[in-house]
Structure 1
């Protein structure tokens, strides 16, 4: 190849004009500094956007694989802290199908008659006094529930179930509940029927264009039908690319302990789980926001 031809190839003008802000993409999933092709977005970024949009739609409309999730949850060692019947309870909201669920949010906040009867019968047969009910809800992303529920609960159970690290754990846990076509508030219905002190709802969050697999956690003390979100504490974005399972479990256990001590949750319960870390940074002068 002649030197002239090599020189022309090296100086060939591409149709894409790069944006210097594209370096910020190393620190965030947000679409920053995409550049342009003429007056349009470069094709590769347009295709990536369309893929993310399709993944978000799939997450909303996909059904939860109950059989696989139940098999996964049976791997958890809850037997030392749960009632004698520790098999997950399969429940359903009043939304009979996905279309109804999306159109009638109010139906997703209450149990259907069959599920309500199942919990009432369990309460009568076991006369439980549970410290905590954990409810796994498909929500708006069954993908998030299928991928993140098991590893998160594996991290959380080290705080709740007696083990070599925490042998004095004394939490009495209700059987795990798996709930289809549910919203966050349906945990209050479960909590009230099981007579549990508080409820922890794990739910698939509304997918974003970079996070179709985000799991949310909602804690409510003394859950009962009719409570608003002001009575809940939330931990969101639990997933490998977001808040780690270990960190989410640490924060959840802190809130659970505080809720049990103060007998409340929501706006009156503040998450101060990071105060020790902030104070440590202040002492060592490692926190540039405080130093």
Structure 2
């Protein structure tokens, strides 16, 4: 079968060649590209006669899917798949597998990078030090003893909870079915409004779907404490950026650490969070570590191998 990696997935040339050889030995052809396609037309040119496609987080439209009549399987080098037209996949009987789990550790760790940066004023500390100033006005807060709210208690939410517990936080989780890990960590399950109102730190870990788009709107943000911070490493559209920026600029909340936006970076110059006060912004980097990329590649190609063997895994369609 013809397998096309339609965009790079951040593995070395040596690793790509290793996978090419492995599939060639089984009678399959793996074609890879080192840069993203610039348009749907270029994506179609690359993949129109492929039977298996590998894609990361580049949007995959119905136009491209419908133009690939031989396509039978898509292995997504990403946890989320809201960038893929799943209806077109269903209509064309295309199986889609994702790479859930590859970046759990990476994302959870960045949550605390953003949190500590905000709580200990690291950006301002760096600036003050370089300008020969002192710590005046830069006294921060500790994580220990704080209420750490988690919205979305899947794999990444649970990993985040473990780290928060190690810091000595009290764990508040929005209404979820109870998990064994929740009992082990002493999680308190509350409705989302209570989590928003009682938390000192709120970390978002929900997928993007109809029910979560705009979930954290102005009303939810208004529930937050004035000294609370919001961390979003989930999906940009889960948060109303205009409402969040207004709350930050009016000192309604203390800060926000944002890794995801309504679009993939670079974000436009007029994005409301770019000039909002007390923010730490990152260009969708939470998942991006060397270790995570290696895990991701292993899952991506295992998905394909298992599908070829008639035992598909990580199926999302």
More helix by share: 1
The question of a shared fold, defined as TM-score above 0.5 by the shorter chain, is answered with: no
TM-score, with length taken from structure 1: 0.31
> Rg: which structure is higher?
1
Give the TM-score normalised by structure 2. 0.30
